[in-house]
C-alpha cells in the first residue's frame, strides 16, 4: 500500500443554509394508504428538510406529503418532497427529503425564507 493521503476538507454541497430547529411534522407517503405519521424536524432549508419519526415505512425515492407546524405562523407549511436518505436514529427513523413543491405557490417558500433569514441575522 502507498502512503496515506492528506485528508481533503469536506465541503457542504447544499444550495441553501439550514436552520437547526425542532418543529412538529406530519407526513404521509404519496400513493400510500393515507396514514399520517408524526415527527419532528432536525433541520430545515429552502431546499429540503431532515426530520425524525418514531414510526415510518418511508424509503429512498418515496414521495411524501408533509405538513410543518412553525410557532408564530398562522397556518402550517405544506410541501411535497422526495426521500433522499433514511437511517436509524435513537429517536426513530431520520428522513432527509428534498422539496419538490411548496404548497400555495410561493407563499410558503416566502414564509420559510423569512424564518431562515431572521434566524441567520440572530446568530
**Is residue 1 included in any domain, yes or no?**
no
| pLDDT of amino acid 113 | 80
Domain holding 36: CATH number? Answer: 2.40.10.220
Can you give the pTM of this predicted structure? 0.75
Return the HEC string of 10-48. CCCCCCCCCECCCCEEEEEECCCCCCCEEEEEEEECCCE
If one counts the domains in the chain, the total is 1
Contact (Cβ atoms closer than 8 angstroms) between residue 77 and residue 103: yes
Residue 57: domain span: 24-122
Cα–Cα distance, 86 to 60 (Å, whole number): 6
**Is residue 47 included in any domain, yes or no?**
yes
Phi-psi domain of 62 (left: phi exceeds 0; alpha: psi -120 through 50; beta: other): beta
**Is residue 39 included in any domain, yes or no?**
yes
**Is residue 67 included in any domain, yes or no?**
yes
Cα–Cα distance, 65 to 76 (Å, whole number): 13
**Is residue 52 included in any domain, yes or no?**
yes
**Is residue 115 included in any domain, yes or no?**
yes
**Is residue 96 included in any domain, yes or no?**
yes
**Is residue 70 included in any domain, yes or no?**
yes
| pLDDT of amino acid 82 | 94
| pLDDT of amino acid 9 | 34
Per-residue pLDDT of the chain (123 residues; tens, 9 = 90+): 444 444 343 334 556 677 888 999 999 988 876 678 889 999 998 889 999 998 778 899 999 999 999 888 888 888 889 999 999 988 899 999 998 865 555 677 777 788 777 766 544
| pLDDT of amino acid 77 | 87
| DSSP structure string for 39-106 | EEEEEE-SSEEEEEESS----TT-EEEEEEE-TT-SS-EEEEEEEEEEEEETTEEEEEEEEEEESTTT
Amino acid at each position: 500500500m502507498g502512503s496515506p493521503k492528506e485528508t481533503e476538507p469536506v465541503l457542504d454541497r447544499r444550495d441553501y443554509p439550514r436552520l437547526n430547529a425542532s418543529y412538529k411534522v406530519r407526513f404521509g407517503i404519496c400513493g400510500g394508504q393515507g396514514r399520517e405519521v408524526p415527527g419532528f424536524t432536525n433541520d430545515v432549508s429552502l431546499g429540503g428538510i431532515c426530520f425524525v419519526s418514531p414510526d415510518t415505512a418511508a424509503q429512498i425515492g418515496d414521495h411524501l406529503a408533509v405538513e410543518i407546524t412553525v410557532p408564530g405562523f398562522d397556518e402550517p407549511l405544506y410541501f411535497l418532497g422526495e426521500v433522499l436518505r433514511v437511517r436509524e436514529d435513537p429517536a426513530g427513523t431520520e428522513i432527509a427529503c428534498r422539496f419538490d413543491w411548496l404548497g400555495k405557490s410561493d407563499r410558503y417558500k416566502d414564509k420559510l425564507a423569512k424564518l431562515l433569514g431572521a434566524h441567520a441575522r440572530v446568530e
